[in-house]
Structure 1
Amino acid sequence: MTLANRPTILTGDRTTGPLHLGHYIGSLRTRVQMQHEATQFLLLADTQALTDNVGRHQKVTENVLEVALDYLAVGIDPALTTILIQSQVPELAELSQYLLNLVTVARLERNPTIKEEIRLRGFERDIPAGFLTYPVSQAADITAFKATHVPVGDDQLPMIEQTNELVRKFNNTVEREVLVECEAVLSSVTRLPGIDGKAKMSKSLGNAITLGATPDEITRAVNNMYTDPQHLRVSDPGRVEGNVVFAFLDAFEPDVAKVDELKAHYRRGGLGDSVVKRVLNERLQTLIEPIRARRSEYEADRAEVLAILKRGTEHAREVAAATLADVKGALGLSYFAQ
């Protein structure tokens, strides 16, 4: 594949806390793989994180470096992936302003992802304007780098749909092809449940296993995982569906035959939860140990991590500025262009 026809990927996460296994299975593995096959931009979305963290801005800014450490620890290579800080690329905010003119408040309120996030946060009608326009900000992030592919969970598909709506609306308005539509890249496991089984994994809900978790933290989390409440005795047949331990085994155990055998044994009875949890615990310990070790190495030289972010952000600004120049030119706003 030549550089000319390589896909361009835009991906990232809100910097509200450390990354966890839900991120890893949802898109981190895809990002590590795709950096060898595509031109990849990885965005630390601190500006978007501020939309619902008023008064908690210090937590957001502190987590920029923490999330960067997580990315580097799982194998993101700054020589292959451009890692940037959203707030330090002002071109993204300016592009958002132009795109906002192409969407109505009613359309933003109909976005299923935003509706669900509003419900979870209890905003009702008291919605911060920045949060409501989150889809437009995300569209600016994607289109600024002319991304053709965006790794997301299935809950983010409405955001990709809205991005492409805005691209088509802008191109139709200026009567030329300036911005590029994108495709969602879904992992084989689009969403990982929390250890409580009640919601998707989230650090804020206290049901996540972070990528930097200690061995003891991993063991405690696995032991606390929701299984089958009707599986009271080892001899009882158990349900695999809705059982968080088996959901994690499906996601992280590469030996599919081994998992299938455990499921069959559990369903017919004679297999205790403690045995299945022990299998999962061993798998997660093996997975996280090298990630935790690499994170410690990077953490010992935070100045170099900041330098990586600075270099990536500077490169990202150059790319975003070129797109913004095209947008302003199409809108007739390049008054002083030579």
Structure 2
Amino acid sequence: MRPTGRLHIGHYHGALTNWVRLQQDKECFFFVADWHALTTAYDDVSVIGSSVWDMVIDWLAAGVDPEKSTIFLQSRLPQHAELHVLLSMITPLGWLERVPTYKDQQEKLSGKDLATYGFLGYPLLQSADILLYQANHVPVGEDQVPHIELTREVARRFNHIFGREPDFEEKARAAAKKLGGKRDKQFFDLRTRYQQDGDKAALEQGRALVSDSASLSNADRERLLGYIDGSSKRILTEPGALLTEASRVVGLDGQKMSKSYGNTIMMREEPEALTRKIKTMPTDTQRVRRTDPGEPERCPVWQFHQVYSTPETREWVQAGCRSAGIGCLECKQPVIDAMLAEQAPMHERALQYVANPKRVREVVEHGNERARVVAEQTMQDVRAAMGLAYS
């Protein structure tokens, strides 16, 4: 995420709940994209520093666990910039110009100077962010899928150009023998079925056979993965998009929740402020008096009920509003109660970091070190492939 300061409940339901779920059974890397913040805000950097720590505290408050996930700062790992530069040597200009968000953002942010290489090249920096950690999946919304496709194309082009190591086939065949038993013959059978017959199931079986083998070195495993799909040694992993359900939380005025609209409820809103914001929310404009029947579909509060209320409560709202059996303040109270209950553990988790800012910096520094190990392993392979490992 770009550092934008404290997060609102749209961020929580749109991304962070998914992050917390993913960390339970996957190796996850979550980083503050502070370099990316500069692509559209290079002329006002004053807020980036404080925004970083506020945002990370919100991640921790949401339940992102630094013992299970790696939390780090993009700018603390120069490998991101190095890989970005090296990938830029092989990425056609047209690939960047056709990214849908390139022209879309230029139109939406017409008041900013976006005629910079940094803005044109930010999707490639995103690709470097992903490829550096050999990511298999990236949790994104549908609007970000073109960025994942660009990343896949860049990885594929890189592997095609630089994966041709000398005597590749001989080394791959020698690696297959290390599978042991009958598995080397099975590997070649699966390779033939895929490359001659186009059997995609055989390709997946072959990849699983290689990935599950404990007798292979990382280099041999990469050779066999490239050998079975017809490429050469696979240096960079082509990631897949792990689609995230869009947040259903709207702003206090029924529009998209955004700080720029002034319609947000923060993840760690003070209880009194949260209560006041919900109580003063606009409702069905056609329900002028308490005795007038209303229509929930016209009311922004109903959108909150769909996120926070039980089916029984939603049924009570539908019946009570349309019959004028309940007033708007009565209708809002279950939402207030549910939101306060949701945020209570967030306040509790955040307390130790707010009270002692040094702790959040320790979490990030520890994550920086963990990420650096993985990033450097990738860069060693990239440098070697591009002829830059000489001494």
Same-fold call, TM cutoff 0.5: yes
Letter in 2 for 1:285: L
Q: 1:111 & 1:21 partners in 2: Cα distance?
A: 29
Work out which of the two has the higher radius of gyration on C-alpha atoms and give 1 or 2: 2
Aligned to 2:222: none
Report the Cα offset of residue 331 of structure 1.
Answer: 2.2
Letter in 2 for 1:95: L
Aligned to 2:159: 171
Report the Cα offset of residue 108 of structure 1.
Answer: 2.6
Range with bigger deviation, 49-58 or 29-38: 49-58
Q: 2:96 & 2:345 partners in 1: Cα distance?
A: 42
**Which of residues 217, 234, 254 in structure 2 aligns to 1:197?**
254
TM-score relative to the length of structure 1: 0.85
Q: Deviations over 1:100-141 (max 9, x none)?
A: 234444433432334333322225774332123221111111
After superposition, the Cα gap between the structure-2 partners of 1:84 and 1:158, relative to the gap in structure 1 and judged at 3 Å, is same
Q: 1:125 & 1:63 partners in 2: Cα distance?
A: 22
Q: 1:219 & 1:40 partners in 2: Cα distance?
A: 35
Q: 2:276 & 2:107 partners in 1: Cα distance?
A: 30
**Which of residues 321, 324, 329 in structure 1 aligns to 2:379?**
324
Q: Deviations over 1:209-266 (max 9, x none)?
A: 111211122123323545443444553341527x43233332333x234335534654
Aligned to 1:83: 71
Aligned to 1:3: none
After superposition, the Cα gap between the structure-2 partners of 1:97 and 1:20, relative to the gap in structure 1 and judged at 3 Å, is same
Letter in 2 for 1:248: F
> What are the ranges of 5 or more consecutive residues in structure 1 without an aligned counterpart?
1-12
Is the CA contact 1:52–1:128 (under 8 Å) kept in the aligned structure 2? no
Give 3-state SS (helix, strand or coil) of 2:47's partner.
helix
After superposition, the Cα gap between the structure-2 partners of 1:261 and 1:124, relative to the gap in structure 1 and judged at 3 Å, is same
Is the CA contact 1:14–1:44 (under 8 Å) kept in the aligned structure 2? yes
**Which of residues 246, 249, 252 in structure 1 aligns to 2:305?**
249
Aligned to 1:51: 39
Q: 1:124 & 1:57 partners in 2: Cα distance?
A: 14
**Cα RMSD over matched residues?**
2.5
Q: Deviations over 1:181-214 (max 9, x none)?
A: 2233334444533222333x22233222111211
Report the Cα offset of residue 309 of structure 1.
Answer: 0.9
Is the CA contact 1:238–1:268 (under 8 Å) kept in the aligned structure 2? no
Q: 1:86 & 1:283 partners in 2: Cα distance?
A: 35
**Which of residues 245, 268, 272 in structure 2 aligns to 1:212?**
268
Aligned to 1:334: 389
Give 3-state SS (helix, strand or coil) of 1:58's partner.
coil
Give 3-state SS (helix, strand or coil) of 1:193's partner.
coil
Q: Deviations over 1:268-327 (max 9, x none)?
A: 765543333222122111111221232122211211221111111011111111111222
TM-score relative to the length of structure 2: 0.74
Q: 1:104 & 1:231 partners in 2: Cα distance?
A: 57
The number of equivalent residue pairs is 321
Q: 2:141 & 2:42 partners in 1: Cα distance?
A: 26
Is the CA contact 2:40–2:114 (under 8 Å) kept in the aligned structure 1? no
Give 3-state SS (helix, strand or coil) of 1:42's partner.
strand
After superposition, the Cα gap between the structure-2 partners of 1:128 and 1:247, relative to the gap in structure 1 and judged at 3 Å, is farther
Aligned to 2:338: 283
> Percent identity of the aligned residues?
35
**Which of residues 250, 262, 265 in structure 1 aligns to 2:317?**
262
**Which of residues 146, 157, 162 in structure 2 aligns to 1:158?**
146
